[in-house]
Amino acid sequence: MQHDDVIWDIIGNKQFCSYKVKTKTQSFCRNEYNITGLCNRSSCPLASSQYATIREEKGQCFLYMKVIERAAFPAKMWEKVKLCKNYEKALEMIDENLIYWPRFIRHKCKQRFTKITQYLIRMRKLVLKRQRKLVPLSRKVERREKRKEEKALIAAQLDNAIEKELLERLKQGTYGDIYNFPVHAFDRALEQQDEESEEEEEEEDEEEEEEDEDVGRSEFVAEEELEEDDLSDFEDMNKLRTSSDEEEEEEEEESSEEEEETKASRSKGKSPANGSAPRRKRAFVEIEYETEPAPKSTASL
C-alpha cells in the first residue's frame, strides 16, 4: 500500500529527489507527468495516489490517469485516454473522466490542455508560413566549387575566343578549300546574325508604330513649376539679349555714318572719266632747302 505522506517526507524539501531542480526563488520538477512543473505536495506525481495530467504526442492530446492499484506494475500504472480535437468536446471528456478527482487536479488539467492547444495552433501557422532553411556548407567544399567555377569560366572564354577567330578567318577566306573544316559553327554564327538583324528590324517597326499611334493624340499637361534658379537663368538670358541688341544697333549706326561720309566725299570730288575708281589723295609734303653762306675771299684783305 502506498503512503503519500511518507513518500513526500522522503523526497520533499528535506532529502534528495532526482527530478528536483532548485533555483534561488523556487524549485522545479522535471518529471514528464508533472501537471504544473513545480515541486510541491499537490503537484508531485510520485507522492499522489489520485493523479492525472495532459500530454501531447505528435500533435494529439491525451489524458493520463494514475491507477494506484497497479503500483506493482509501473509500466501499466497510467491509463491513457485520447482526447477529441474539438476543444469543447475535449473539456467535456476531461470532466467525465475526472469526475471523482480533486478539483485542483481537474482545473490544472483543463489549464494545461488549453496551453497545449494554443501552442499547437501557433505551430501550424508557422509551418504554413514561408521560412528560411539554413543549410551548412563546409569551407573546403566552397573553395573547391569556387576553383571549378573559375576554371570553367577561363575555359569558356578561351573557347569563345578561338571560335570567334576561326569564324573571322572563314569569313575572310583565309583557308579556302585546302582544309575540310566543319561548317556547323559557321552556320550557327550566321543564323545568330540573321536573328539579331530580324530582332532589330522588329524593334524599329514597333517604334515607328508607336510614333504613328501618338500622332494626333491630345493630352493635357500640367504646367511645370519654375524654381528660383530657373528664373535667374531667364533673367541672365534677357540681359544677354538686350546687350547683344544694343551692340547690333551701335554697329548699324556706325555703318550708316561711314556710308554717309563716303557718299559726301564722292559728291565733292570729280567723277572719273573712264568709270575707274577715284584716286587717293597724296599726303602733303614740305621740302626745306638749307643754303650755306659763301666764304670771304682773301683778296679783300
Residue 116: predicted pLDDT: 94
Q: How many CB atoms lie within 10 A of CB 240?
A: 10
Helical (H) or strand (E) element with 172: helix 139-172
Asked if residue 290 has pLDDT above 90, the reply is: no
The pLDDT assigned to 117 comes to 94
Checking if the pLDDT of 4 tops 50, the result is yes
Question: Distance between CA atoms of 88 and 69, rounded to whole angstroms?
Answer: 31
Does pLDDT of 241 surpass 70? no
Name the burial class of residue 19, with classes exposed (0-12), middle (13-18) and buried (19+) by CB atoms within 10 angstroms of its CB.
Answer: middle
Residue 149, amino acid: E
Please report, for residues 46, 185, 189, 190, 199, the alpha-carbon distance to residue 195 in angstroms, rounded to integers and kept in the order given: 84, 15, 10, 9, 6
Q: Nearest 5°: CA angle at 138, between 135 and 143?
A: 120
pLDDT digits (tens, 9 = 90+) for 242-285: 666 666 777 777 777 777 766 665 655 544 545 555 566 666 66
Is 276 in a helix, a strand, or coil? coil
Q: Looking at 112-116, 150-154, 274-278, which range is the least confident one? A: 274-278
Closest residue by Cα to residue 48 from 66, 64, 30: 66
DSSP 255: H
| 157 vs 170, higher pLDDT | 157
pLDDT at 200: 81
- For the ranges 63-72, 104-113, 131-140, 250-259, the lowest mean pLDDT is seen at 250-259
Q: Which of 82, 86, 79 is nearest to 52 (CA)?
A: 79
* Distance in angstroms (rounded) separating the CA atoms of residues 52 and 99: 12
Residue with cell 659763301: 294
Q: Is the pLDDT of residue 141 over 70?
A: yes
User: Cα–Cα–Cα angle for 73, 79, 85, nearest 5°?
Assistant: 155
pLDDT digits (tens, 9 = 90+) for 23-82: 888 888 999 999 998 988 888 888 888 899 999 998 899 999 998 888 888 888 899 999
Report residue 109's pLDDT band, with 50, 70 and 90 as the boundaries. Answer: very high
Higher-pLDDT residue of 300 and 49 is 49
pLDDT tens digits for 175-230? 665 455 556 666 776 677 777 777 887 887 777 776 666 555 555 555 555 455 55
Query: What is the model's pLDDT at position 64?
Result: 92
Q: Which pLDDT does position 82 carry in this prediction?
A: 92
**Residue type at position 205:** D
For residue 22, give the nearest of 32, 35, 12 by alpha carbon.
12
Evaluate whether 49 touches 2 at the Cβ level (below 8 Å): yes
pTM of the predicted protein model = 0.44
Name the residue with higher pLDDT: 132 or 108: 108
The residue type at 212: D
Mean pLDDT lowest among 3-7, 11-15, 181-185, 189-193: 181-185
Q: At 116, which amino acid appears?
A: I
- What pLDDT sits at residue 301? 41
Tell me which of 124 and 285 has the higher pLDDT. Answer: 124
| pLDDT reading at 288 higher than 80 | no
